Structure 1
Amino acid sequence: MKFHKTSQLKRRKKKIIGQYALFWPPALVFLTIIRSVGTIEVGSFDPGLLPSILLAAVFGFIGGVISGYFQFMLEEKIYGRTSIRKLALAKAIFIVIFLVTLIVIAYIMTRVIFHHDIDFITFAFDEGSAPVYLYIISVDIFMTRLRQVNLMLGEGNLTKLLAGKLYTPHEEERIFMFLDLQSSTTLAETLGHIKYSQMIQDCFFDLGVTNAYRAEIYQYVGDEAVLTWPLQEGLNRDNCLKAYYDFMDTLESKREYYQNKYGSLPFFKAALNCGTVTATEVGRYKREIAYHGDTLNTAARILAKCNEFNEEMLISESLRQMINTSDFEFKPMGEVPLRGKKEAVPIFAVKRKS
């Protein structure tokens, strides 16, 4: 599992850096064209339109790699682990370092490629440079905000919304996992609302480990979370089952932290089901991606049976038939009547082998 997570983390890093490396060159080329076409360069250095465009593209790629790497570090190492003030301070420090780094790179390129004889201070504060710096800072802030929107919607869903892929409802084959915090009422009464909310915040931060198993976090509903996979991705390498146990292992590895801060170790039970759902974009003033269908309703009803059977994970027969693995044990629980279902549904309890 550790290798699997490391591999997924590397893919995530490459993806974020790639997004920034693709966005920054067009952004700087656009600035170059706007500054060059039909205007006169007020600065002391003007290599011409075509060389400027080529330089902007190379410069943008380098800047995109740097900015993307920092954004990855921000999401993995800092975000959710510190206060908003420290987060803002870290971002402000990065912007300053980022800007200075770009200025140094641009100065070196100007000296080496174009043999332009100018000292660094004069180059850095050349006439007309201030709007360029403001533009670079604005683009970086815009990219950061865009990443936050993407994370709020779920990785990759922003692209789907912008492309209009979910404007018209369509069917998808998916796996859904419902997670529920056990003894939530007792914990809320013991801890109080603020500290209880902090514990939920910590738990769902740790739930991020499921990203290594290609899980998409569909919804947070109070102390419950709903994860989903396209059918084949969820079945591949038993991702839909391993994600749960890795989440539990992560909480266990932080037992001391949770015990010291909240007086107990949170424990979640899970229910999984698969089937056809309708995916669409909903809402007018607040839009989000929604999945509709009996598949979700059945998973939610199965979750309610975890306490009744005293099992940590239950899955539907339809999902059990698709899983071919020797890493887990499956115990038939019989055909179980579920609220809102006319017919009883066969379900299975899942245990990880030692």
Structure 2
Amino acid sequence: MIDGTTTGSGGLRYTKPSSHSGLWILAPTVGALAGLIYGLASDIEPLVSALRGAFIGAPVLLYERGVLMRRWRDWSRRAATPVFGLATLATYVAMIVFGNAVAGTILHHGFGYMANAHVAMKMSETGFAYALGISALVTFVLRVRDLMGPRVFASLLVGRYHRAITEERIFLFLDVAGSTRFAEEHGDLAAQTWLGAIFNALALPVRRASGSIDDYIGDMAMVSWSMERGLRDAACLECVFDVLRIVEADAGRWTARFGEVPRFRAALHCGPVVTAEIGLERRKIAYFGDTLNTTSRLEGLAKELGAEIVVSGDLLDRLGDLPGHIRISEFGVRALRGRKESLRIAAVHVHKSAKIAP
């Protein structure tokens, strides 16, 4: 995950690789398969249907995953529902027409199909309706997945937690500092808009760190990882630093829109939890156990200690050797309210000579 190289100034520069590399293969593959299905039903040659499907489906999927036209996509998703619907429909139509034109041009000039390029770029009404319908269906599934969270969506589909199980997970409680004061100064409506923008900013760092945003509780986001994913290259810690970097890099816009830049307190801990599906009409995956309570207590202790990011000794021991740009400041063993056993606690931060590349 981290590519550490020494910079000319002697600091450590590290870069996160793109989390979208696999999509450039997956998107055209899914599009080609959809095209082949239409071709089989309409008696169209496989090469023609697959190529058209790839060039039509890939842009739509890449757009929905935030790879193409991200600013336009983000704007439309923040707009009112009617505006969002019309903007998305217009975007799909443009992508379908353009993708079909590119595929037709390649089929004519590269493979000799159709009498001329103009004919090759034409699209039947049935083909257009099919492309638009499949795009809408895939988008609906992806939106449900985003609403529930990728991990929750997949787990509910396969019924992984239909029966409660015990597993070990890493938890991050990320609290927005000063939210109560902000609400008192600007009102509850403005505070909710502010928190909404902050939580939107968390999505990309959590996705890059292979985590899952499991819940929003007031002004706090609860993020979790499986032990394997969270420990790999200290992904759970890198996620917090990534959030801070993104917010700091956009400090001007935060100040212009809300009058201040968000600040955070973060607590990380790991341990066993009971995980289960709960609810009947509205199902969700919930966690039970002392690990969650301890993480909550750590977040409260971070405020008392004046620390931005605190980590339990249990998690530090599991992380082992940390990347060179991460520094540890030990607080020693501390008693936590509501917990019989004391816990070793430390603060973590990025070394001043380390530079995080966007």
TM-score > 0.5 by shorter chain: yes
Deviations 1:218-263 (A, max 9, x none): 2112210011122132222222222212212322222222222222
Query: Taking structure 1 as reference, are residues 107 and 206 closer, same or farther at Cα in structure 2, changes over 3 Å only?
Result: closer
Deviation at 1:133? 1.2
Native 8 Å contact 1:271 1:313 kept in 2? yes
* Distance (whole Å) between structure 2 residues aligned to residue 268 and residue 3 of structure 1: 26
Q: CA RMSD in A?
A: 3.0
- Matching residue of 1:91: 88
Deviation at 1:292? 2.6
SS in 1 for 2:162: coil
Q: Is structure 2 residue 208 aligned with structure 1 residue 212?
A: yes
Which deviates more, 224-233 or 329-338?
329-338
Which deviates more, 99-108 or 304-313?
99-108
Query: Taking structure 1 as reference, are residues 342 and 2 closer, same or farther at Cα in structure 2, changes over 3 Å only?
Result: closer
- Matching residue of 2:156: 161
Deviations 1:276-334 (A, max 9, x none): 22333332222223233221121012111112222212222211222322521231242
Deviation at 1:84? 2.0
Q: How does 1:282-293 map to 2 (within 5 A)?
A: 282-293=278-289
- Matching residue of 1:57: 50
Relative to its length, the structure with more helix (as a share) is 1
Deviation at 1:89? 4.8
* Distance (whole Å) between structure 2 residues aligned to residue 123 and residue 319 of structure 1: 58
Counterpart among 107, 115, 118 of residue 117 in structure 1: 115
Native 8 Å contact 2:174 2:266 kept in 1? yes
Normalising by structure 2, report the TM-score: 0.81
Native 8 Å contact 1:331 1:348 kept in 2? yes
- Matching residue of 2:141: 146
Deviations 1:109-137 (A, max 9, x none): 66564654378379837xxx322211110
Give the letter aligned to residue 348 of structure 1.
Answer: A
Q: How does 1:188-267 map to 2 (within 5 A)?
A: 188-207=183-202, 208-267=204-263
Native 8 Å contact 1:333 1:349 kept in 2? no
SS in 2 for 1:171: strand
Query: Taking structure 1 as reference, are residues 301 and 122 closer, same or farther at Cα in structure 2, changes over 3 Å only?
Result: closer
Deviation at 1:272? 0.8
Give the letter aligned to residue 302 of structure 1.
Answer: L
Query: Taking structure 1 as reference, are residues 19 and 159 closer, same or farther at Cα in structure 2, changes over 3 Å only?
Result: farther
* Distance (whole Å) between structure 1 residues aligned to residue 120 and residue 75 of structure 2: 41
Normalising by structure 1, report the TM-score: 0.82
Native 8 Å contact 1:302 1:338 kept in 2? no
Q: How does 1:1-354 map to 2 (within 5 A)?
A: 7-9=16-18, 12-35=19-42, 49=43, 52-71=45-64, 72-73=66-67, 76-81=70-75, 83-84=78-79, 87-105=84-102, 107-108=104-105, 111=108, 113=111, 115-117=113-115, 120=118, 124=122, 129-207=124-202, 208-323=204-319, 324-325=321-322, 326=324, 327-339=326-338, 341-354=339-352
* Distance (whole Å) between structure 1 residues aligned to residue 308 and residue 121 of structure 2: 64
* Distance (whole Å) between structure 2 residues aligned to residue 133 and residue 225 of structure 1: 42
Give the letter aligned to residue 308 of structure 2.
Answer: E
Length, aligned pairs only: 334
Structure 1, unaligned stretches of length 5 or more? 36-48
SS in 2 for 1:281: strand
Query: Taking structure 1 as reference, are residues 52 and 281 closer, same or farther at Cα in structure 2, changes over 3 Å only?
Result: farther
SS in 1 for 2:318: coil
Query: Taking structure 1 as reference, are residues 306 and 166 closer, same or farther at Cα in structure 2, changes over 3 Å only?
Result: same
Native 8 Å contact 1:176 1:274 kept in 2? yes
Deviations 1:45-73 (A, max 9, x none): xxxx4x62443233323333232232233
Structure 2, unaligned stretches of length 5 or more? 5-13, 353-358
* Distance (whole Å) between structure 2 residues aligned to residue 206 and residue 98 of structure 1: 27
Give the letter aligned to residue 231 of structure 1.
Answer: M
Give the letter aligned to residue 166 of structure 1.
Answer: Y
Query: Taking structure 1 as reference, are residues 267 and 288 closer, same or farther at Cα in structure 2, changes over 3 Å only?
Result: same
